[in-house]
Amino acid sequence: MTLPFEVGVVVRDLELMERFYCDVLGCRAERRSVVPEAVGGPAGLGGELAVAWLRVPSGGCVKLILPRSDPVPAGAAASPAGRQGLSYLTFHLDDMDPVVAALPTAGARPLSDPVVVRARGRRISFWADPEGNVVELVDARADDPGPGHSN
């Protein structure tokens, strides 16, 4: 491997999702591009699409992909392990509390019950972003229960 890992997320609203991942999760918008039909079709991407590259503070990249045609809904699986294929994105944070506090206002909904769970020396929290993609937050503050914690 020559560069940090990248993941592509197909979205319905590129601007909304870019704001969500940048404003709430701390990603940085790097660039946008339109992939023409002449490239997207033969590459197996289904045709023309817009792509926004968001740099994750730790060095990876989330690529938000808006196809020219409507994306197929991901389904209604409530739990990340309840569907086959790419299940969720994990963001490792120093302290998840400010992010957990900002997520509901940004259109996300918690999937964890309680919202923050202590497990193996870490705290974890699962959320659905505004379009239903699952995001896991992890920090190493297991001694600090934070909001909505479990024992």
pLDDT digits (tens, 9 = 90+) for 90-138: 999 999 999 999 999 999 999 988 999 998 889 999 999 999 999 999 9
Measured CA to CA, the distance from residue 92 to residue 108 in angstroms comes to 18
23-76 pLDDT, tens digit per residue, is 999 999 999 999 988 888 877 788 889 999 999 998 899 999 998 876 555 554
pLDDT in the model for residue 50? 94
Within 13 Å of residue 120, how many CA atoms lie on the same side as its CB? 2
Give, in order, the Cα–Cα distances in Å from 14 to each of 19, 64, 69, 140: 9, 7, 13, 31
State pTM to two decimals.
0.80
Query: In this structure, are residues 93 and 11 in contact, taking their beta carbons and an 8 Å threshold?
Result: no
Task: Give pLDDT, residue 140.
Answer: 87
